[in-house]
């Protein structure tokens, strides 16, 4: 099973709060059958301990280590908020929710970090006009 499919990619023109962005990411992961409803709370707990802001307009909310039992399959939720999200004072446009079984989250995180370390790549992702176009660009960099 691929960790990302077109149904898990969204683009919104406006802005939301960090909590709303995290909720949407959790809902997408849950709808994909990757996590239980309890995973959202674990994502919020992780954020209280350490910010998941990564730089380059990217945040990658994910659950705590204690929430491993709430992860049913590895998956991603990718949401672009063109109005931005205030992530503890940091500007975020891309919110990528992650659920990883076992150690798979480390490999997924690594691929995302590499993709978002290139400003040209981030600009290409920001310029994608549709979820389908954004999905196609992401699929080149994430397996």
Residues with a catalytic annotation lie at 62
Are 92 and 53 in contact by the 8 Å Cβ rule? The answer is yes
Nearest alpha-carbon partner for 76 in 51, 105, 44, 47 = 105
**Torsion angles phi and psi, residue 79, rounded to 5:** -130, 130
CA angle 84, 85, 91 (to 5 degrees): 75
């Amino acid at each position: 099973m691929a960790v990302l499919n077109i149904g898990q990619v969204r683009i919104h023109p406006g802005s939301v709060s960090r909590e709303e962005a995290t909720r949407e990411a959790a809902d997408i992961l849950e709808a994909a059958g990757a996590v239980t409803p309890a995973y959202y709370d674990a994502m919020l707990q992780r954020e209280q301990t350490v910010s998941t802001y990564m730089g380059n307009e990217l945040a990658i909310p994910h659950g705590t280590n204690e929430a491993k039992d709430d992860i049913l399959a590895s998956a991603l939720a990718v949401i672009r908020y063109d109005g931005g999200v205030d992530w503890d004072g940091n500007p975020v446009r891309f919110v990528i929710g992650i659920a990883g079984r076992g150690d798979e989250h480390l490999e997924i995180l690594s691929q995302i970090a590499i993709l978002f370390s290139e400003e040209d790549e981030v600009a290409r992702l920001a310029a994608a006009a549709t979820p389908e176009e954004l999905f196609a660009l992401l699929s080149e960099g994430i397996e």
